[in-house]
Amino acid sequence: MKVGIIGASGYVGGELLRILSYHPEIEIVVATSEQYKDEYIYRVHPNLRGKTNIKFTSHDENVNDKCDIIFTAVPHGSSVKIIPKLIDIGITIIDMAADFRLKDPEDYIKWYNYNHPNPELLDKFTYGLPELYRSKLVSSKLIAIPGCMALTSILALAPLIKNKIIKENNIIIDSKIGASGGGVKPSTATHYSERYGVVRPYKPVGHRHIGEIEQELSILSGNKIKVSMSPHGVNMVRGILCTIHTFSKNIISTSDIWRIYKTFYENEPFIRLIRDKRSIHKFPDPKILSGSNYCDIGFEKDNNVNRIVLLSATDNLMKGAAGSGVQCMNIAMGFKENTALEFPGLHPV
């Protein structure tokens, strides 16, 4: 299959290039970047030196003719200007931005403060979360990859929501995310002397990923669910840790919670349940997930107040973005699901 990546010079685009460069079923034929047009890819992504000799090109009409699959790894609000022109061609489109994640056009007004220009397309996209929508992803032509903090939170909460274990009106998500989550474009806030050493709350209320979390949990529950989330930028490059405070409806044992998660995620290739009292790595830790496509999930019970603390970790550029994109592509194209995604992460790093 011939693949094109629109917006290939960013961090997510670079990860797509890295993964797909050793995917046995894929040939990368186009990688676009207006800023770096005609430059070799390895000048922007130096880890790819020797893996490919293609150059960045400008996005033009010829891109469509060269590809069977296109990934759009452009900023939010940009892919909606590109994708409608590609749909009629019939190629598979995997969008890494937020432009087609939400099903209700009113949610784009609420969470992104703009009127969606193509609301008729929203229902045509499959939400790219294989653990919930694998059957829909098979042969899907239009896929919207979840936001990184949304995915990390949804995967932790889904088993308890589906099994009606926790109170649905009292879910609080505390999310820590590395600097790469802000994208490749620098700003004063991402300047080294400002970013280093921080634990910086940057959107204590109203973060846009809440819209996805509420949408997907409401579908699972059958009831309208509201969640609270407060993200923090922290002193690492990659990784997300979501600490999620939930409260059980009734008294439930640790073994019952464990059984719910094992049943829900049975045979899932990229979900690992972490609760190891004999290791220093007792709970999920994003550090050991760098470069991997795993989501590690753990929990602890607080019997004093019937609280279940969920801990969920991912690499925001992998399972939180490019890795999920390739996983969804593998499913949609009939490839083995874990192809090119089996790297276990680094330790120590």
Higher pLDDT, 283 or 59: 283
Residue 110 in domain = yes
Across residues 244-269, what is the average pLDDT?
A: 97
**Cα separation, 243 vs 174, whole angstroms:** 5
**Structural contact between residues 214 and 147, judged by C-beta atoms closer than 8 angstroms:** no
Cis check: omega of the bond before 186, within 30 degrees of 0: no
153 and 299 inside one domain: yes
Residues 267/338, Cβ–Cβ less than 8 Å: no
Domain edge (last residue) among 124, 141, 162: 124
CB-based contact 299:248 (threshold 8 Å): no
Is the same domain home to 113 and 217? no
Which residue, 109, 124, 139, sits at the end of a domain?
A: 124
Query: How many percent of the chain have pLDDT more than 90?
Result: 88
Evaluate whether residue 207 is within a structural domain. yes
**Do the domain assignments include residue 50?**
yes
**pLDDT number for residue 286:** 97
The CATH number covering residue 216 comes to 3.30.360.10
Task: State the total domains in the chain.
Answer: 2
- Residue 60 pLDDT exceeds 80: no
> By mean pLDDT, which of 31-40, 178-187, 268-277 is the weakest?
178-187
How high does pLDDT run on average in the chain? 95
Exposed (0-12), middle (13-18) or buried (19+): which is 306, by Cβ within 10 Å? middle
Question: Which pTM does this prediction carry?
Answer: 0.97
Is there a domain that residue 206 lies in?
yes
Confidence of residue 244 (pLDDT cuts 50, 70, 90): very high
| Model pLDDT, residue 100 | 98
The pLDDT of residue 113: 95
Residue 88's pLDDT is 83
State how far the Cα of 176 lies from the Cα of 38, in Å rounded to an integer: 37
Residue with tokens 């929203």, as numbered in its chain: 122
Average pLDDT over residues 66-94: 93
DSSP notation for 9-59: TSHHHHHHHHHHTT-TT-EEEEEE-STTTTSBGGGTSGGGTTT---B-B--
Is pLDDT at 64 greater than 90 in this prediction?
A: no
Statement to judge: residues 177 and 267 lie in one domain: yes
Residues 115, 199: one domain? no
- Band of residue 89 on the pLDDT scale cut at 50, 70, 90: confident
One domain, residues 181 and 308: yes
Full residue range of the structural domain in which residue 95 is found: 2-124
Where does the pLDDT of residue 62 fall: very low under 50, low under 70, confident under 90, or very high at 90 and above? Answer: low
Same domain, 118 and 167: no
Q: Are residues 114 and 58 in the same domain?
A: yes
Same domain, 80 and 221: no
Q: CA-CA distances (angstroms) from residue 306 to 165, 219, 229, 246, 256?
A: 11, 25, 20, 9, 14
Q: Is 323 inside a domain boundary?
A: no
Q: Are residues 165 and 119 in the same domain?
A: no
pLDDT band at 278 (very low <50, low <70, confident <90, very high): confident
Query: What secondary structure letter does DSSP report for 248?
Result: B
Q: Token pair of 264, please? A: 């829900």
Q: Inform me whether the pLDDT recorded for 61 exceeds 70.
A: no
* CATH number where 100 lies: 3.40.50.720
For residue 253, is pLDDT > 70?
A: yes
Q: Which of 344, 348, 341 is nearest to 18 (CA)?
A: 341
The lowest-confidence range among 61-75, 98-112, 137-151 is 61-75
Around Cβ 90, how many Cβ atoms within 10 Å?
9
Final residue belonging to a domain, choices 124, 141, 166? 124
In a domain, 344, yes or no: no
Q: Are residues 110 and 206 in the same domain?
A: no
* Rounded distance between C-alpha atoms, residue 176 and residue 231, angstroms: 6
> Within this chain, do residues 162 and 285 fall inside the same structural domain, yes or no?
yes
47-59 confidence digits (pLDDT tens): 999 998 899 999 8
pLDDT at 330 over 90: yes
- Which are the catalytic amino acids? 148
Residue 187 falls within a domain, yes or no? yes
Mean pLDDT value of segment 177-190: 90
Q: In which residue are the tokens 């009113």 written?
A: 106
Given this model, what pLDDT does residue 191 score? 87
Q: With 90 as the cut, is the pLDDT of residue 279 above it?
A: no
- Give yes or no: residues 107 and 179 share one domain: no
pLDDT tens, 160-173? Answer: 999 999 999 999 99
Q: How many residues does the chain have?
A: 349
Q: Tell me if 205 is assigned to some domain.
A: yes
